[in-house]
């Protein structure tokens, strides 16, 4: 069995953003596009592998930086010991895109708005299973299927709701917080830091200790 993942999150920032936003200032946010839109790419990839850390990270060559050295566009490839691979790219310089694609041995999952959905109360994804060429290679058989997930509340409201639940649980449990979100956040940051190290070392491989 194999799994390949590709994630892209980018938007074309205006000139004021590129000159004045904290994300492009080395003394305010030293990670640029990697620390902003790249975070979502990495988190989505980790979600797809049940938050298993990769073994090795290699940054894509020649990232784009501004005059201060802040990252405006970059990416990386992630490798797992069992053969899973993932790539991501993030940028402040290209058209708004929020794609994640998972390609397995027998199926493909594709989401085109994984960060901010096209609409507040619904999100769509497509699934292809055991895809093949149609007769005479003039199409696909079977065709991918589309699925829509609806919600009464937008994700921002659900986030606040989840935060309130966590706080309430701490009160009810006598001050003991849940470990789920801190663990996920730490793993995301571990991968992000490894990517940054690889960038700083000219795209050398960086090992991640599990």
In the predicted structure, residue 175 carries a pLDDT above the cut 80: no
Q: Which residues of 92-119 are buried (b: 16+ CB within 10 A; e: fewer)?
A: beeeebbbbbbeeeeeebbbbbbbebee
The alpha-carbon radius of gyration of the chain (Å, integer) is: 19
- Strand 85-91 vs strand 3-10: parallel, antiparallel, or unpaired? parallel
- What digits encode the pLDDT tens for the residues 117-164? 999 989 999 999 988 888 878 888 888 899 999 999 999 999 999 999
**Average pLDDT, rounded, for the chain:** 93
The model scores a pTM over 0.85? yes
- What digits encode the pLDDT tens for the residues 60-70? 999 999 999 99
- Give the relative orientation of helices 180-200 and 37-48 as an angle to the nearest 10 degrees: 120
Assign 176 a pLDDT band (cuts: 50, 70, 90).
confident
CA 152, CA 150: separation in Å to the nearest integer? 7
CA 86, CA 51: separation in Å to the nearest integer? 13
Assign 185 a pLDDT band (cuts: 50, 70, 90).
very high
């Amino acid at each position: 069995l194999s799994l390949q993942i590709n994630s892209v999150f980018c938007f074309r920032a205006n000139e004021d953003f590129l000159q004045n936003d904290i994300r492009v200032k080395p003394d305010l946010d030293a990670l640029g596009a990697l620390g902003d839109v790249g975070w979502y790419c990495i988190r989505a990839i980790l979600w797809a592998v049940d938050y298993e850390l990769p073994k090795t990270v290699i940054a894509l060559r020649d990232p784009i930086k501004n005059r201060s050295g802040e990252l405006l566009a970059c990416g990386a490839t992630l490798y797992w010991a069992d053969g899973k691979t993932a790539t991501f790219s993030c940028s402040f310089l290209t058209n708004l895109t929020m794609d994640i694609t998972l390609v397995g041995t027998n199926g493909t999952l594709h989401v085109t708005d994984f960060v901010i959905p096209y609409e507040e109360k619904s999100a769509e994804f497509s699934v292809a299973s055991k895809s093949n060429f149609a007769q005479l290679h003039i199409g696909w058989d079977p065709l991918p299927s589309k699925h829509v997930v609806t919600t009464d509340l937008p994700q921002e409201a659900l986030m606040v709701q989840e935060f309130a639940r966590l706080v309430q649980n701490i009160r009810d449990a006598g001050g003991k917080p849940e470990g789920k979100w801190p663990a996920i956040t730490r793993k995301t940051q571990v991968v992000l830091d490894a990517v940054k190290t690889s960038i700083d070392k000219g795209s050398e491989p960086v090992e991640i200790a599990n």
